[in-house]
Structure 1
């Protein structure tokens, strides 16, 4: 009996090992980067997985900020980078040094929202000049109270909740508000987690928050949206409330922007990845609107699909 059990166990081990060796792990690809772009891609992923069970567990989606996404893409640790700004020259050089060629695909338009606590009854609008004074490095020592930002406002400490330095929102906001400076004040609650920023502002009566308009749309009942007066323009204009319409028609300036995915060209040859991106582009207007962003013109999505097609044609001809 004992010999029979040993023999049976040996056969079971052999079969198990054979199964392990012959069963290839399901291929997957990694998408990393912007917290602002994440909800769009996450919804695309969810819809894609519902089309066919074979699509499940194919996509590994994470958030490390736009800068982190570009780093992962250029180091070959991700096939796609979600980005709330364009790639910088230094980031592109890093990709080139590592032999990573990339495709830029615009997927949506967004605005950067300035928000305060809903109980704030003194902020009727903010000007770009006021945002500049508030955001510049010297403000750590010279501007900490609402009364110091505008005469007549309360003598209360301003607590700022904003994007971390690895975030594309941080980069874009800083370039828009402080075009001649690289640094900003550092004494604020900084994170790439937009949900944390929303909760921070919603629970702090003296708060001011900076994040993507899409996150405001999801949480409008907890926040007060602030109109922006672009007094850096050629002529003085009235404050403009950020909305899907003002982002689309270009009147919400200078805080409107495009959102992107950047794809490693070699990864496009992966049929799983290529199928997902085609699905995403075919359904982008619906997905983008559902999240609360503004779709790009339809020609942008058509041009992106043509880029993908040309990459595969070029590879097939070599």
Structure 2
């Protein structure tokens, strides 16, 4: 089926996976290029490692340039697959169309975008959407600089902020949800498309706050503490139920022409089968879709 010029597969439905193995297939060789979202990176990296273990002559490279940066490469025909933590934008579809690319959209899981502080922060235990807006709104730039300006019960200490850059789908989603407009944000913060840099920055400063995908928090929960938002913890269970307001879908986009390459087709099928039949998405810190959603995706890929 088609929507807004995208070949769409799957549905935003979420549930636990069954812990079964993926189906075996003949070995393939050749290159597969992936880039885009740092949030989706842990999933695609894990899939790439497993695929290359079974196909030693295949080489899967997974880059991290943010969702927007990934789409620029993808629409220029430089990559086969683009990781995305938001849907493709119309201007990106237009850029793809100029090069004859009609992206296949595949939902692969769900994230609970996580707001974090350093473990040594012993006073900030929860936060509201309104407080996040006071901190991150464009008008807060240069004016809201101390914690007690946000909440009088918080200390008179400097606010130090870490977040994704403007090429990030995480930035787009967070600003839309918290500030009411995609891309609307103060700019006086440490920005990076590399979530590991954000983890490092927050973990070194008890007055810091940052946000990124749940997987990066779970990998660093010995150094960071996740904040409940509006009283709800950022857990896979709460993302699955829809109770957590910063839950969001995760995607990969595939260039249909790349499916003519046997190694790319094999990898995409392997990706979906592994997501369906194993706990790999749960293990990297995200929520898998229902099993039949992956089956629907596989049918669409198989028909192309």
What TM-score bracket applies, with the shorter chain setting the length?
A: 0.7 to 0.9
User: Higher helix fraction: Structure 1 or Structure 2?
Assistant: 1
Give me the whole-angstrom Cα distance separating, in 1, the residues matched to 2:41 and 2:183.
Answer: 26
Instruction: Report the equivalent of 1:308.
Output: 301
The Cα of 1:181 is off from its aligned counterpart by 5.9
Instruction: Report the equivalent of 2:53.
Output: 50
Question: Match of 1:119, SS?
Answer: coil
Give me the whole-angstrom Cα distance separating, in 1, the residues matched to 2:53 and 2:183.
Answer: 44
My pick for the range that moved more, 176-185 or 119-128, is 176-185
What are the superposed Cα offsets for residues 9-61 of structure 1, whole Å, 9 maximum, x if unpaired? xxxxxxxxxxxxxxxxx731211111111111111111111113233xx2222
Give me the whole-angstrom Cα distance separating, in 2, the residues matched to 1:142 and 1:27.
Answer: 53
Instruction: Report the equivalent of 1:103.
Output: 104
Give me the whole-angstrom Cα distance separating, in 2, the residues matched to 1:258 and 1:287.
Answer: 17
Comparing both chains, which one has the higher relative contact order based on Cα–Cα distances under 8 Å and sequence gaps of 6 or more? Answer: 2
CA contact (8 A) 1:101 1:266 kept: no
What are the superposed Cα offsets for residues 191-239 of structure 1, whole Å, 9 maximum, x if unpaired? 011111111111111000111111111111101110001xxxxxxxxx0
Instruction: Report the equivalent of 2:236.
Output: 244
Question: Match of 1:39, SS?
Answer: helix
Give me the whole-angstrom Cα distance separating, in 1, the residues matched to 2:161 and 2:31.
Answer: 39
Q: Counterparts of 1:1-16 in structure 2 under 5 Å? A: none
Give me the whole-angstrom Cα distance separating, in 2, the residues matched to 1:181 and 1:168.
Answer: 10
Question: Match of 2:303, SS?
Answer: helix
Question: Match of 2:33, SS?
Answer: strand
Q: Runs of at least 4 residues of structure 1 off by over 4 A? A: none
Instruction: Report the equivalent of 1:37.
Output: 40
CA contact (8 A) 2:30 2:57 kept: no
The Cα of 1:96 is off from its aligned counterpart by 1.2
Give me the whole-angstrom Cα distance separating, in 1, the residues matched to 2:72 and 2:236.
Answer: 31
Q: Counterparts of 1:78-227 in structure 2 under 5 Å? A: 78-180=79-181, 182-227=183-228
Give me the whole-angstrom Cα distance separating, in 1, the residues matched to 2:86 and 2:100.
Answer: 22
My pick for the range that moved more, 217-226 or 120-129, is 120-129
CA contact (8 A) 2:147 2:154 kept: yes
Question: Match of 2:166, SS?
Answer: coil
How has the CA–CA distance of structure 1 residues 66 and 142 changed in structure 2, closer, same or farther, with 3 Å as cutoff?
same
Gaps of 5+ in 2: 1-28
Give me the whole-angstrom Cα distance separating, in 1, the residues matched to 2:182 and 2:99.
Answer: 30
Matched, 1:264 2:255: yes
The Cα of 1:306 is off from its aligned counterpart by 1.1
Give me the whole-angstrom Cα distance separating, in 2, the residues matched to 1:277 and 1:182.
Answer: 31
CA contact (8 A) 2:176 2:184 kept: no
CA contact (8 A) 2:52 2:60 kept: no
CA contact (8 A) 1:82 1:260 kept: yes
Question: Match of 1:138, SS?
Answer: helix
How has the CA–CA distance of structure 1 residues 240 and 49 changed in structure 2, closer, same or farther, with 3 Å as cutoff?
same
CA contact (8 A) 2:34 2:62 kept: yes
Give me the whole-angstrom Cα distance separating, in 1, the residues matched to 2:150 and 2:217.
Answer: 23
Instruction: Report the equivalent of 1:277.
Output: 268
Gaps of 5+ in 1: 1-25, 230-238, 312-318
The Cα of 1:296 is off from its aligned counterpart by 1.1
